[in-house]
Amino acid sequence: MKSAEHAIERNVKLIAGVGAVLCLTLGGALVIVQQNLGATQSELADVVVPTQGALEDLSGSVGALFLRESEIVGADAAALPALADRSGPVRAVEAAEAQLRALATRPTLAHVEGFGAAVSDLDASVAAFSAADAELFPAVSKHRALAARFEQNVAAIDADLRQVVQASGGLAGVLRLEYVAMLRRVAAEIGGGSVRAELVRPAILGDSRAQLAAIDRLDAAVLRLGMLAGRVGLAQSTDALNSLAANELVQNRGEISQELATIARLVGDDAVADRVAALRETAEALAARVGDEERPDSLASLRRQMLAETARVGEIQRTAAGDAGRVSAAAALVRDAAAQAARNAQDDAEATIATSRLVTLVIAVIGLVLAFIAGIRVRSSVFALRAQNAKLTKLSDDLARTNEGLEDTVRKRTAALQLVLDSTGDGMLAVGLDGEILPERSRAVVDWFGDPASDERLWGYLAPADPTLRDSLWLGYEQLASNIFPFEVAAEQAPALLARDGRTYALSYREVSDGGELDRVLVLVRDITAQLDAERAEREARELHVLIGNILRDREGFRQTVAECTALIELARRSEEPLVVRRALHTIKGNSGIMGFVRLADEVHELESRMADEERSPTAEELDAIDAIWHESLAGIEDYLGSSERRVIQIDEDEVCELLDVARRSGAYAEILPIVEHWCDEPVAVPLERLATQARHLAKRLGKEVDVVVDGGHVRVAPEPLKELWSTMVHVVRNALDHGIDTADERRDAGKSAAGRLELTARQLGDTLEIAIADDGRGIDWESVRERAIARGLPHAAHEHLVDALFADGLTTMRVATALSGRGVGLGAVRAACRSVGGSVTAESEPGRGTRFVIRVPWQLVAHAVPAHAA
Amino acid sequence: MRLPSTKPFIAAIMAAALAAAAPRDANAADPAPAASPWRIGMSAAFSGPAEALGAGMRDGVLAYFAAVNARGGVHGRPLELVARDDAYEPARTAPNMRALADEDHVFAVIGNVGTPTAAVAVPIADEKHLPLFGAFTGAGLLRKSPPDRYVVNFRASYAEETAEMVRGLVTELGIRPEQIGFFTQNDAYGDAGWKGAVAALERLGYADAANLPHGRYPRNTVDVEAGLAELLDPRVDVRAVIMVGAYKPCARFIQLAKAYDFAPYFLNVSFVGSDALAGTLGADGDGVVITQVVPLPDGDTAAARELQATVPAEKRNFVTFEGFLAAKAFVAALERAGADATPESFLDAVESGAPFDLGLGVEHRLSKAEHQFSHRVWPTVIRGGRFVALARWTDLLPQESAR
């Protein structure tokens, strides 16, 4: 362990060291690279960029000068003076050149091949351009001045020319008029017939015609002079001007002076001579002004000078253009050189970057390798550490478990001892989760059940002889121990009673958990035999009490019912017909319940439940058991019941008064006898009242508040024929109370009085005795009856079918039978009883309003049944 | 690069300053009118050989304008005349017209003098939509068919004048067409008169009128000899000379012709400048015929009486009278156009067809097809240095017989 830790420490230190060295090295490399790049950058910024800027300035200034040249050449006289000043662009050029020369000394540029030469070249060409440019403005100015003078001369010459033309035209008119006048005179002579010679001679031999011809030629020459002047003004080259001057102008001048001389020579009139002389002077001066090249301001010489100046300006412009071209070529060279310098700097920077990348890569690779090796070594050390750690954990766990086991044992022992000490009276035994009987148990258990065999399980120990109980104990305990359900729930379901060796024990279960987990179960056993016996005795006493009460209330009815029950039990034991047996048992249950034979009623109810669950008839043993209970119950009350065969006739006070009235009035035997005979019959009110009593009992048991009303209508009938019928009618009453009368809550919701009402009535209706049992309860759910009828395959189409089905055996609309009714047997028994005496039973019901059962019996059957011994 | 950008800027400032200064000066010269005046322009000869014509027109127009202003102006706005001198040179007429339109912002131009000047004035008037009213010329180029929208004439045309001459000579005096010759100024004016006469002769059935003797002289000279020589040609027998020219050359022509014993009927159109001609000719003027486009200024027409009431006698002549009548016609049309008249609404008023009465004894109705107030020609003859109405052309005969 120590060695592993040391290895890790050593290797981590190694990694840290390598990392530090790497960082330092990389940082150093970065600083160097940045310095190099920065130097390059600043060199570019300080040298190359200003060089390019200076070149831009220079080009711009030269361009401005060049542009100014074309402006000068194109400017008119007014605009020209404004262009004289060229100092601005010239200063800009000089400044740019100075900057360039200064930059040329910088090493970055000086090292570039040809840079110095290019700058010198640029200097020279700029100087040449500047010199040419300086000459342009004076040349153009001079040309403009010449042009202005030329224009003035042209205008003056033009005016003079018009004057000359006009003068010559006027002169020609004068001469022509003279001539025409002369001809006119000749013509007049000719018209007169004789022509005088002195008139004709001058016309033919005189000078007039010659003068006219000369003046015509003069006109033409003057016009030509005007044309020539125009051509001189338009001459575009010295050659053309030379040609004009040497040929046309000289010739024209000769013509004009010759014609004028001719005219002057010929003219006689003084006035005309004056005009000719004036014309001659003007014309010759004009010709000289146009064509005499010896005069500096003649049109021709001015034009000549202008042409020369134009040529000079063109020459200057060409020179300047050539120089400007050289300037831009030189500037391009300089710019190339500067660009070369920039490229050099960039190449340096790229080389630096490449080198730095390589160095960085090498350092990084070395670092990675070292880190990898160190990492592997750290990893192996960590593995060794982890193995040691696992071993230590296991040891620690084992130690802890040992400790816990010890503590557990001590705790269990202590608890068991405590339990044993605490439970000396009751039986108590500890059971393992697998049912094993643990050593801890109380003495009482051993006293009751003996010592358990080794490996004895709880169920085998407690119920060695009863396999059913054993199985249920087993299952119950398994559920308890499985811990699936909460312990309390499972304990509730486990067997709680144990009958053994004529004693009864109560079982209960306690949970013994350990750390929240069920560890084992403590089973408590209590002997409750004596307690049960006491309870039973008390119950029997209470039952007897009720029975005696009932006997005292209606001894005759009670006796009849007892007899009937005895008969029914006999019937059930004898009969082979399952339906008969079921009906009999059911009636027994009802009657015994009403009379207060609680044990019998309970027993029959249980028997009925078993029969329904297992769908079978009762066994002989079961019926014997019922019989035994019945006789046992009867044995207790025989003393109170008295003789069973003695009959009592009840007579109301009204009836006695009636008899007394008859007797006092006449006392005739014939009148008294029928009354007394009739007394032998039983008032219908008695059995009805008996039913009402039963109904009130039932209502009380059911917890319903019911007003039971009886109306016998003073009808007396022979009791014997209807004996069976009365006993079955209890089913109808039971039905009415159990199913018919609704609960107080339901009644309130339905808007009825809280107390239900049951009416029991009887009356004689012609030859029929009509007994009605009516309630104001829920009524019959006919739809439910229909469903049942369908389920049982009975007719169900019409209402009569449903009424029939209601009285069919086994039909009930209740899902759960109660102790009082609901087996679907009672109404069938009623119908059977009615039919057996030739009567009928019907049911009328309106849902929610109540049900009315009506039993009709022929009157003949029940009238005047005088007892046999009285008859 | 900087110089060219500043130069036009400065130029623009200077131009703006000049433009701003010009109208201020013009306004400063105004005598502070109550309402903005009707500013009317004029370009005529106030110098040179045709000076008398320009001055006469101006006097007539100003006299009438003054009379109108004296009674409150037109619709409460006074009339103001801006006159510019072109010395009868077309080269100066064009800048005058443009200045009147663009600098003086005149409402219309009235009483321009001359045909060659009108040749440049009419296109400018059309271009500027500027009414050119009552020009002192009878040339056809102001009388196109249909008329120019912006040209409105007062007077009869040269063609109408020369046609009257031809009619009088041929039908009343019995002169044969081939005995008629022409002496004209060598320009549009001369051509106008000559063509009118030729057309009149052709209407009378003489097809060869264009080849009749025709002497010409250069404008603004008195070199009439060559022209006279044409008419003196022994091959022709010219008995009447229709003259279309200025008064100086015409006077010299008449005197020179008489010196050469050449004495046909001399007939001048109104443009010659009647009083100047009569004054220059003196005794040589007797019998010279001048057709007029206005009645005698000292006559007894209603218009003449109005003139006499307005213009002093020394200034009263045919040219003044024409200027006076032109101004009267202009004012009548302006009255009709309304207080806020524009040149266009003014022309609409002229063309409305409603009659104008200028006191000439006739009504003048103008329309889109008729832009001339008067077609009437009044022939006059100089007798003893004074103008006499030539009621009948045969009135000329005794004088000839006297010769």
- pLDDT tens-digit series, residues A631-659: 888 877 777 776 545 566 767 788 788 88
CATH number at residue A839: 3.30.565.10
Q: Does a structural domain hold residue A676?
A: no
Please report, rounded to a whole number, the percentage of residues in chain B having pLDDT higher than 90: 62
Q: Does a structural domain hold residue A390?
A: no
- Identify all chain B residues contacting A177, using CB atoms and an 8 Å cutoff: 225-226, 228-229, 232, 256, 260
Between residues 257 and 316 of chain B, which touch chain A (CB distance below 8 Å)?
260
| Contact assessment for residue B201 and residue A146, using Cβ atoms and an 8 Å cutoff | no
Tokens of A770: 């009509």
Residues for chain A: how many in total? 871
Using the 3D structure, point to which of A626, A648, A670 is the last residue of a domain. A648
User: Same domain for B249 and B394?
Assistant: yes
| Contact assessment for residue A857 and residue A831, using Cβ atoms and an 8 Å cutoff | no
Annotate A269-283 with b (16+ C-beta within 10 A) or e (fewer): eeebeebbeebbebb
CATH number at residue A258: 1.20.1260
Q: In the prediction, which pLDDT does A422 show?
A: 55
User: Same domain for A287 and A338?
Assistant: no
Q: Does a structural domain hold residue B2?
A: no
Report how far residue A852's alpha carbon sits from residue A752's, in angstroms, rounded to the nearest whole number.
Answer: 17
Contact B228 A187 (CB under 8 A): no
Per-residue pLDDT at B77 exceeds 60 = yes
Nearest residue of A to residue B221, measured between CA atoms? A166
Residue with tokens 């004894």: B361
The whole-angstrom distance between A281's CA and the closest CA on chain B is 20
Contact A184 B7 (CB under 8 A): no
Q: What is the mean pLDDT of chain A?
A: 81
| Contact assessment for residue B84 and residue B96, using Cβ atoms and an 8 Å cutoff | yes
User: Same domain for A124 and A150?
Assistant: no
Q: State pLDDT tens for residues A795-838.
A: 888 888 888 888 876 555 544 444 444 445 678 888 888 888 88
Q: Does a structural domain hold residue B23?
A: no
The whole-angstrom distance between B237's CA and the closest CA on chain A is 11
Contact A181 B233 (CB under 8 A): no
Q: How far is CA B161 from the centre of its chain?
A: 12
Contact A166 B221 (CB under 8 A): yes
User: Same domain for B152 and B165?
Assistant: no
Q: Does a structural domain hold residue B16?
A: no
The type of residue at A319 is T
Q: Which of B236, B239, B200, B169 is nearest to B392 (CA)?
A: B169
Please report, rounded to a whole number, the percentage of residues in chain B having pLDDT higher than 70: 90
In this prediction, residues A232-241 reach a mean pLDDT of 82
Tokens of A89: 């662009």
Q: Which of A634, A625, A649 is nearest to A595 (CA)?
A: A634
Cβ neighbours for A271, distance < 8 A, ≥ 6 positions apart: none
User: Same domain for A557 and A629?
Assistant: yes
Q: In the prediction, which pLDDT does B309 show?
A: 92
- Identify all chain B residues contacting A63, using CB atoms and an 8 Å cutoff: 1
Please, what is the angle between helix A685-702 and helix A578-595, to 10°? Answer: 80
Q: How far is CA A627 from the centre of its chain?
A: 77
User: Same domain for B273 and B213?
Assistant: yes
Report how far residue B322's alpha carbon sits from residue A334's, in angstroms, rounded to the nearest whole number.
Answer: 84
Q: Does a structural domain hold residue A726?
A: yes
- Identify all chain B residues contacting A83, using CB atoms and an 8 Å cutoff: 3
Cβ neighbours for A555, distance < 8 A, ≥ 6 positions apart: A641, A642, A648
The type of residue at B268 is N
Burial of A40 (0-12, 13-18, 19+ CB in 10 A): buried
User: Same domain for A499 and A611?
Assistant: no
Nearest residue of A to residue B229, measured between CA atoms? A177
Q: In the prediction, which pLDDT does B308 show?
A: 94
Q: Does a structural domain hold residue B396?
A: yes
Boundaries of domain holding B263: 158-292+379-402
Give how far Cα A264 sits from Cα of A171, A216, A257, A316, A496, Å. Answer: 11, 14, 10, 53, 185
Q: Does a structural domain hold residue B129?
A: yes
Based on the structure, what is the number of domains in chain A? Answer: 5
Q: Is A495 helix (H, G, I), strand (E, B) or coil?
A: coil
The type of residue at A527 is D
**Four-residue CA torsion sign, A620, A626, A631, A635:** positive
Contact A176 B226 (CB under 8 A): yes
User: Same domain for A635 and A748?
Assistant: no
Contact B229 A179 (CB under 8 A): yes
Tokens of A765: 């209706």
| Contact assessment for residue B333 and residue B350, using Cβ atoms and an 8 Å cutoff | yes
pLDDT band of B216, cuts 50, 70, 90: very high
Report how far residue B374's alpha carbon sits from residue B262's, in angstroms, rounded to the nearest whole number.
Answer: 35
Q: Does a structural domain hold residue A52?
A: yes
Per-residue pLDDT at A221 exceeds 60 = yes
Q: Which of B196, B67, B215, B80 is nearest to B137 (CA)?
A: B196
Tokens of B262: 């050449």
User: Same domain for B117 and B224?
Assistant: no
Per-residue pLDDT at B334 exceeds 90 = yes
User: Same domain for A842 and A701?
Assistant: yes
The whole-angstrom distance between A184's CA and the closest CA on chain B is 5
Residue with tokens 């542009």: A67
Q: Does a structural domain hold residue A653?
A: no
Per-residue pLDDT at A293 exceeds 60 = yes
Strands B265-268 vs B289-292: parallel, antiparallel or unpaired: parallel
Nearest residue of B to residue A61, measured between CA atoms? B1
Contact B1 A67 (CB under 8 A): yes
pLDDT band of B271, cuts 50, 70, 90: confident
- Identify all chain A residues contacting B3, using CB atoms and an 8 Å cutoff: 64, 68, 71, 83
Residue with tokens 């640029």: A122
In this prediction, residues A762-779 reach a mean pLDDT of 87
Q: Which of B59, B137, B134 is nearest to B320 (CA)?
A: B59
User: Same domain for B384 and B253?
Assistant: yes
Question: Which residues of chain A are at the B interface, by a Cβ-Cβ cutoff of 8 Å?
Answer: 60, 63-64, 67-68, 71, 79, 82-83, 88, 166, 169-170, 172-174, 176-177, 179-181, 183-184, 186-188
Helix (H) or strand (E) holding A93: helix A87-104
Per-residue pLDDT at A720 exceeds 80 = no
Q: Does a structural domain hold residue B235?
A: yes
User: Same domain for A29 and A113?
Assistant: yes
In this prediction, residues A787-792 reach a mean pLDDT of 82
Nearest residue of B to residue A72, measured between CA atoms? B4
Helix (H) or strand (E) holding A713: none
User: Same domain for A339 and A427?
Assistant: no
Q: Does a structural domain hold residue B10?
A: no
Q: Does a structural domain hold residue A666?
A: no
pLDDT band of B13, cuts 50, 70, 90: very low
Please report, rounded to a whole number, the percentage of residues in chain A having pLDDT higher than 70: 94
- Identify all chain A residues contacting B221, using CB atoms and an 8 Å cutoff: 166, 170
Q: In the prediction, which pLDDT does B28 show?
A: 38
User: Same domain for B236 and B162?
Assistant: yes
pLDDT band of A197, cuts 50, 70, 90: confident
Q: In the prediction, which pLDDT does A812 show?
A: 58
Contact A180 B234 (CB under 8 A): yes
Report how far residue B164's alpha carbon sits from residue A423's, in angstroms, rounded to the nearest whole number.
Answer: 178
If one compares A811 and B23, the residue with the highest pLDDT of the two is A811
User: Same domain for B109 and B173?
Assistant: no
Q: In the prediction, which pLDDT does A1 show?
A: 53
CATH number at residue A490: 3.30.450.20
Backbone phi and psi for residue A519, each to the nearest 5 degrees, phi listed first: -105, -45
Report how far residue A761's alpha carbon sits from residue A457's, in angstroms, rounded to the nearest whole number.
Answer: 67
Report how far residue A860's alpha carbon sits from residue B397's, in angstroms, rounded to the nearest whole number.
Answer: 191
The whole-angstrom distance between B3's CA and the closest CA on chain A is 9
The whole-angstrom distance between A61's CA and the closest CA on chain B is 9
User: Same domain for B244 and B288?
Assistant: yes
- Identify all chain A residues contacting B229, using CB atoms and an 8 Å cutoff: 173, 176-177, 179-180
Based on the structure, what is the number of domains in chain B? Answer: 2
Q: In the prediction, which pLDDT does A627 show?
A: 86
Annotate B109-118 with b (16+ C-beta within 10 A) or e (fewer): bbbbbbbbbb
| Contact assessment for residue A174 and residue A275, using Cβ atoms and an 8 Å cutoff | yes
User: Same domain for A124 and A164?
Assistant: no
Q: In the prediction, which pLDDT does B129 show?
A: 94
User: Same domain for B218 and B366?
Assistant: no
| Contact assessment for residue A25 and residue A363, using Cβ atoms and an 8 Å cutoff | yes
In this prediction, residues B296-321 reach a mean pLDDT of 91
Contact A170 B223 (CB under 8 A): yes
Report how far residue B296's alpha carbon sits from residue B306's, in angstroms, rounded to the nearest whole number.
Answer: 12
Strands B378-383 vs B289-292: parallel, antiparallel or unpaired: antiparallel
Q: How far is CA B171 from the centre of its chain?
A: 27
Most confident of A110-124, A321-335, A705-719, B212-226: B212-226
Is the bond into A138 cis (omega within 30 degrees of 0)?
no
If one compares B145 and A41, the residue with the highest pLDDT of the two is B145
In DSSP terms, A765 is beta-bridged to A768
In DSSP terms, A267 is beta-bridged to none
User: Same domain for B125 and B227?
Assistant: no
Residues for chain B: how many in total? 403
The whole-angstrom distance between A35's CA and the closest CA on chain B is 43
CATH number at residue B350: 3.40.50.2300
Backbone phi and psi for residue A810, each to the nearest 5 degrees, phi listed first: 80, 0
Give how far Cα A866 sits from Cα of A672, A677, B82, B225, Å. Answer: 15, 7, 173, 203
User: Same domain for A576 and A511?
Assistant: no
Nearest residue of A to residue B260, measured between CA atoms? A181
Q: In the prediction, which pLDDT does A413 show?
A: 74
User: Same domain for A231 and A291?
Assistant: yes
Helix (H) or strand (E) holding A406: helix A299-422
Tokens of B306: 């109005």
User: Same domain for B271 and B165?
Assistant: yes
pLDDT band of B265, cuts 50, 70, 90: very high
Per-residue pLDDT at A203 exceeds 50 = yes
Q: State pLDDT tens for residues A96-120.
A: 888 877 877 777 777 777 777 778 8
Q: Is A527 helix (H, G, I), strand (E, B) or coil?
A: strand
Q: State pLDDT tens for residues A584-639.
A: 888 888 888 878 888 888 888 888 888 888 888 888 888 888 888 888 888 777 77
Q: In the prediction, which pLDDT does A117 show?
A: 79
User: Same domain for A611 and A692?
Assistant: no
Q: Of the candidates A64, A79, A187, which has its C-beta nearest B234's C-beta? A: A187
Q: Does a structural domain hold residue A613?
A: yes
CATH number at residue A578: 1.20.120
Boundaries of domain holding A633: 529-648
Q: Does a structural domain hold residue A787?
A: yes
SS3 of chain B: CCHHHHHHHHHHHHHHHHHHHHHHHHHHHCCCCCCCCEEEEEEECCCCCCHHHHHHHHHHHHHHHHHHHHCCCECCECEEEEEEECCCCHHHHHHHHHHHHHCCCCCEEECCECHHHHHHHHHHHHHHCCCEECCECCCHHHCCCCCCCCEEECCCCHHHHHHHHHHHHHHHCCCCHHHEEEEEECCHHHHHHHHHHHHHHHHCCCCCHHHCCEEEECCCCCCCHHHHHHHHCCCCCCCEEEEECCHHHHHHHHHHHHHCCCCCEEEECHHHCHHHHHHHHHHHHCCCEEEECCCCCCCCCHHHHHHHHHCCHHHCCHHHHHHHHHHHHHHHHHHHHCCCCCHHHHHHHHCCCCEEECCCCCEEECECCECECCCCCEEEEEECCEEEECCCHHHHHHHHHHC
Q: State pLDDT tens for residues A41-66.
A: 777 777 777 887 888 888 888 888 77
Q: Of the candidates A88, A174, A180, which has its C-beta nearest B233's C-beta? A: A180
User: Same domain for B247 and B394?
Assistant: yes
Nearest residue of B to residue A57, measured between CA atoms? B1
Lowest mean pLDDT, pick from A432-436, A856-860, B26-30, B211-215: B26-30
Q: Does a structural domain hold residue B103?
A: yes
